[in-house]
């Protein structure tokens, strides 16, 4: 039986993340929107992706670029309306693409009517929908921090209590121990499923519960001090040590008991519908439950907790990840990604500055051949790069702005120095508008309109869709070809993963195997030529794909030479 038949749609799919503010501006106001996305659905279909993850599209004051929702069943005015959303969804479905939405369960915006009510008085019916506590003499209820800076508690003058926020103070945490909250949020989840969406990416899922007794964390340093130490850390060991301290600091704020039960309830809601998907933004794979009753997938973030991707790093990551998933159950499915709206662009982060074009191809080959569902981020297919903003008035990510202010006001840095540091930290750098062509504003929005974030000027140097479409050698066409190729090799989608040559420092090679098809993937992660002996199999070897710089005969038992960042995908017949 065809092993693909047994698989769920999301196990076979390649996902593509759309960051709606930056994708395509259909109404000429400088902000991406549904009209823009609809006009690019054919592009996405041609690219060869199977499903879209849409970052938040809900009404929001945008203190955290849409991750602070003020209405869970609405559409942000600047993006369009429900009818346009529906047109987008149906357009995607007609083209055979699924759509999952971003669901932010941990917190709402402080502008959400629920929070406004909750703030209005201590005896308001929604008071207990958020987390309110009395302070201790002279300060907040405990020493918890927000990873976004400062205390996790905010004083409310009007009612004389503190409320809890894991992220910005403009993102108060919901009290998930209140059954009314659960019901309200589950009904928001149903709202979009009723409209036909195919599932959800669950934002910051591990932060939903806090320790009910709210004890102080045991770390002597403050969050701000720890962050400064992290910036100064010169060795990986010191960094590791500090990150462990950071974990210790958050120990009562994340991954608390009750999570599994909640995920099971949520899965119950999702399973009222046919074949929907839940994928969690979390470091931990624990929330697969028994493999069938909690989340379907959890992003493999440990893979990108490095500044250099080496074969050893990837092998270790995959070994740990796959082993842990197998322990859970045969149903627990891996999911790999190299970047998203929170992390630097792959081109900038993992490129060595000399071979970025070759490396970008190698990284895609990695994503499409490892076991599991790949997630790509919009713009990566044309090699978009980080843009370091040089004017603080252009910043839109509050994280970057607050960081800048802290550098100037607390550390006394000169504004220019602070700006340079902030430009590297802010997530604005990797959220700039999609580059469609080499006209004004890269075709993202009309000439004369000011886009919400500056367009990266490299659009004029070939980093745009239109030029790459006509260039057969372009990165975009490489993406298209490889995405197409993946669809024609079932072993790459359904196959097991087995390392080949486990100690080779330069070449990452592995077998992907289903009954009747065995493929070998070999990826050279070095800037030098590297050799690899092919297995000495009785049959022939069929070359599915090889980079131009791969040389020598590809025959059983022979050594092949992969040029710098070269790659090959073969089938052992």
Point out which residues bind ligand GLC (CB under 6 A): 64, 67, 104, 167, 203-204, 281, 341-342
- CA-CA distance, 300 to 438, in Å (whole number)? 35
Query: How far apart are CB 247 and ligand GLC at their closest, in Å?
Result: 16
Closer by beta carbon to ligand GLC, 112 or else 486: 112
Write phi, then psi, for 101 (nearest 5 degrees): -100, 165
Q: At what angle do helices 223-232 and 236-249 cross, to 10 degrees?
A: 170
* Least distance CB 204 / ligand GLC (angstroms): 4
- Residue closer to ligand GLC (CB basis): 55 or 359: 55
Contacts 24+ apart (CB under 8 A), 514-517: 514/3, 514/490, 515/3, 517/489, 517/490, 517/491, 517/571
Query: What are the DSSP E strand ranges found in 193-254?
Result: 199-202
User: Could you confirm whether 281 is annotated as catalytic?
Assistant: yes
| Cα separation values, 556 from 351, 535, 547, 548, 562, Å | 33, 6, 19, 20, 16
Between residues 63 and 500, which has the closer beta carbon with respect to ligand GLC? 63
Q: Minimum distance between the CB of residue 458 and ligand GLC, rounded to whole angstroms?
A: 24
- Per-residue 3-state assignment (H helix, E strand, C coil) for 34-86: HHHHHHCHHHHHHHCCCEEEECCCCCCCCCCCCCCCCCCCCCCCCCCCHHHHH
Structure tokens at 269: 């809601």
The rounded Cα 546 to chain-centroid distance in angstroms is 29
Residue 297, strand partner residues: 279
In three-state secondary structure terms, 464 is: coil
Which of residues 126 and 201 has its CB atom nearest to ligand GLC in the complex? 201
* Nearer to ligand GLC among residue 204 and residue 569 (C-beta): 204
Are 285 and 298 in contact by the 8 Å Cβ rule? The answer is: yes
**Which residue number is nearest to ligand GLC in terms of Cβ?**
67
Nearest distance, CB of residue 225 and ligand GLC, angstroms:
23
Find the shortest distance in angstroms from Cβ 342 to ligand GLC.
Answer: 5
The span from the CA of 356 to the CA of 350, in Å, is 8
50 is catalytic: no
Minimum distance, C-beta of residue 110 to ligand GLC, in the bound complex (Å): 13
Q: Are 386 and 416 in contact (CB under 8 A)?
A: no
* Residue with Cβ nearer ligand GLC (377 or 525): 377
**Buried b or exposed e, range 23-45, using 16+ CB within 10 angstroms:** bbbbbeebbbbbbbbbebbeebb
Q: How far apart are CA 48 and CA 44, in angstroms?
A: 7
Element (H, E) at 191: helix 179-194
Residue of 33, 173, 203, 386 with catalytic role:
203
Name the residue nearer to ligand GLC (CB basis): 255 or 281: 281
Q: Which of 64, 281, 282, 380 is catalytic?
A: 281
The answer to whether 455 and 444 have CB atoms below 8 angstroms apart is yes
**DSSP β-ladder status, 153-156 and 161-164:** antiparallel
User: Rounded to the nearest whole angstrom, what is the least distance from the CB of residue 15 to ligand GLC in the complex?
Assistant: 15
Q: Which is nearer to ligand GLC, 38 or 181 (CB)?
A: 181
CB of 71 to ligand GLC, least distance (A): 16
C-beta neighbour count of 425 within 10 angstroms: 16
What are the strands, taking DSSP E only, across 63-188?
98-103, 132-133, 153-156, 161-164
| Minimum CB–partner distance for residue 104 and ligand GLC (Å) | 6
Helices 398-409/415-425 angle, 10° precision: 150
Distance CA 345, CA 133 (A): 40
Residue number with CB closer to ligand GLC (271 or 342): 342
Active site residues: 203, 281
């Amino acid at each position: 039986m065809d092993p693909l038949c047994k698989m769920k749609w999301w196990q076979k799919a390649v996902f593509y993340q759309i960051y709606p503010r930056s994708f395509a501006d259909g109404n000429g106001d400088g902000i991406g929107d549904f009209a823009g996305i609809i006009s690019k659905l054919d592009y996405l279909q041609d690219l060869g992706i199977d499903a879209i993850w849409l970052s938040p599209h809900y009404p929001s004051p945008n203190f955290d670029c849409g991750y602070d929702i003020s209405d869970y069943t609405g559409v942000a005015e600047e993006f369009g309306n429900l009818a346009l959303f529906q047109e987008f969804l149906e357009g995607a479905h007609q083209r055979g693409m699924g759509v999952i939405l971003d669901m932010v369960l941990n917190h709402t915006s402080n502008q959400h009517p629920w929070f406004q009510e909750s703030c209005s008085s201590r005896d308001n019916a929604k008071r207990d929908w958020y987390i309110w506590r009395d302070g201790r003499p002279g300060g907040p209820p405990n020493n918890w921090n927000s990873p976004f800076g400062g205390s996790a508690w905010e004083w409310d003058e009007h009612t004389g209590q503190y409320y809890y926020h894991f992220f910005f103070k403009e993102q108060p945490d919901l009290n998930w121990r209140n059954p009314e909250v659960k019901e309200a949020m589950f009904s928001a989840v149903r709202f979009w499923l009723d409209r036909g969406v195919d599932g959800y990416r669950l934002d910051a899922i591990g932060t939903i519960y806090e320790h009910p007794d709210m004890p102080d964390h045991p770390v002597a340093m403050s969050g701000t001090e720890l962050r400064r130490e992290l910036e100064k850390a010169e060795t990986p060991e010191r960094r590791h040590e500090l990150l462990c301290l950071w974990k210790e600091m958050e120990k009562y704020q994340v991954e608390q008991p009750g999570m599994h039960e909640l995920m099971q309830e949520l899965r119950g809601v999702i399973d009222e519908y046919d074949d929907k998907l839940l994928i969690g933004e979390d470091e931990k794979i624990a929330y697969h439950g028994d493999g069938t009753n909690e989340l379907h997938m959890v992003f493999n973030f440990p893979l990108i907790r490095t500044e250099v991707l080496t074969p050893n790093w990837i092998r270790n990551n995959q070994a740990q990840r796959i082993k842990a998933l197998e322990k859970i159950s045969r149903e627990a499915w891996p999911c790999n990604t190299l970047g998203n709206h929170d992390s630097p662009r792959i081109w900038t982060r993992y490129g060595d500055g000399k071979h970025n074009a070759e490396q970008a191809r190698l990284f895609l080959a990695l994503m499409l051949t490892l076991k599991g569902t790949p997630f790509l981020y919009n713009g990566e297919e044309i090699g978009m790069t980080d843009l370091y903003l040089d004017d603080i008035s252009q910043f839109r990510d509050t994280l970057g702005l607050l960081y800048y202010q802290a550098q100037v006001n607390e550390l006394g840095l000169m504004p220019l120095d602070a700006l340079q540091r902030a430009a590297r930290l802010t997530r604005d750098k990797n959220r700039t508008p999609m580059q469609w062509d080499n006209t004004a504003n890269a075709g993202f929005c009309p000439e004369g309109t000011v886009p919400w974030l500056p367009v990266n000027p490299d659009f004029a140097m070939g980093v745009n869709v239109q030029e790459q479409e006509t260039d057969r050698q372009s990165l975009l066409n490489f993406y298209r070809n490889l995405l197409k190729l993946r669809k024609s090799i079932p072993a790459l989608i359904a196959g097991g993963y087995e390392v080949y040559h486990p100690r080779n420092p330069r070449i990452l090679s592995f077998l992907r195997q289903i009954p009747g098809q065995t493929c070998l993937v070999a990826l050279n992660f070095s800037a030098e030529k590297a050799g690899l002996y092919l297995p000495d199999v009785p049959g022939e070897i069929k070359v599915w794909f090889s980079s131009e710089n791969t040389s020598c005969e590809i025959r059983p038992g022979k050594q092949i030479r992969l040029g710098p960042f070269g790659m090959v995908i073969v089938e052992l017949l």
